[in-house]
Homo-oligomer: A and B are copies of this chain.
Amino acid sequence: MRFLHTADWHIGKKLHGYDLWSEQEDAFRQILTLAQQEKVDAIVLAGDIYDRALPNERAVATVNQMLQEINLTAHLPLLAISGNHDSAIRLETGSPWFAATDFYLHTKLSQAFTPIELADTQFFLLPYFEPFAARQYFADDKLRTIAQAMPSIVAAMQKQFKPDKKHVLVAHFFAAGSQQSDSETKVTVGGLDAVPTDSLAAFDYVALGHLHNETALHTERIKYSGSPLKFSVSEAQQQKGVWLVDTEPFHAVFLPLTPLRDVVELTASFAELIDPAYYAQVQRDSYLAINLTDTKVIPNVMQELRKIYPNILNLTRKNGREATAAPTIQVQVRSPLVLLDDFFQETTEQKLTQQQQKWAATALKDAQKEGE
């Protein structure tokens, strides 16, 4: 059995106000092409298909088209679950009809215990669930977190294990470290408590969704695919892609995706940024987080930079206010002129000159007059 593991498509997501329709369409096309080139037997989609429970019509039309292309046009089996960003109820629409063409979309906890058998493998599709659903399903009031519910869930799945088959879990939650590592298991991400990876040891492979970074876990057989696109500046350094998994012999290889427009951090001065020699080296239509090294005020800086770089996400100063740890409690007792001097120092790493101080004092006096 060979399958492709992807997750966290977040169709409809915006990046700092920019629509990502063409980027998401392009990433989808790469995934489908890879699946066909690598002759996979199925695509696994581990939740957060939509970015929100109530997607807009364009997102609905986009997802409908993508799932149709995979399953009805390319005739690829598709194994999918709902994530915490999806509305399980809305996503469920149509799913009882999908199984006829080997498209399995599980949105309810109760569906997780009926394995989908394809070739040599039993797939257990565990959608994102709230702890109350586990309490109800197992009639066990002690299951207060997803981590607490997992032993019961894995045990129930193991009862369905056929010994001559491989066993793959598809799930959407925060998995971390081992049960022994207090520092990791107590962390929560996105409101989900961490499931210790050693509680998932029964499976030949665990295809996870939820974290957007494929390197989030350092385990051979429990993996996040990560998102197909960078969805924030903090992901600028990540390589996005999908896992290509073979069950026999077990082998997992990460196949990178090339973004239509990348998310890039640039640190440079204004003079550099507007220098053709500099920007010839830069993919100018990338989504840019620009870190300006200048100390002086630059009039209309954003407007000027956008003439060259159309997709600027944000603009920060290398020595911006974020960098300082000055205790804000003192602000109240300082005079406006002292505050201005502090601000100038924080921003430019220079003190106000005597001339600048004079200008500032005059300006503050005028401002006060107008205030009165």
Contact = CB atoms under 8 A, between A and B. Distances in A.
Interface of A: 54, 57, 60-61, 64, 68, 72, 87, 89-90, 92-98, 100-101, 103
Contacts of A54: 54
Is chain A's binding surface mostly helix, strand, loop or mixed?
helix
Given A60-B89, A89-B57, A95 B94 contact: yes
Number of copies: 2
A60 B96 contact: no
Nearest to A95: B94
Given A72-B97, A93-B93, A97-B101, 9 more contacts: A54-B54, A57-B87, A57-B90, A61-B92, A68-B96, A94-B97, A97-B103, A100-B100, A100-B101
Nearest to A91: B93
Contact of A98 (B57, B64, B94): B94
Contacts of A100: 97, 100-101
A90 B93 CA distance: 10
A103 B92 CA distance: 17
Nearest to A88: B57
Contact of A90 (B60, B72, B101, B103): B60
Contacts of A97: 72, 94, 97-98, 100-101, 103
A370 B96 CA distance: 68
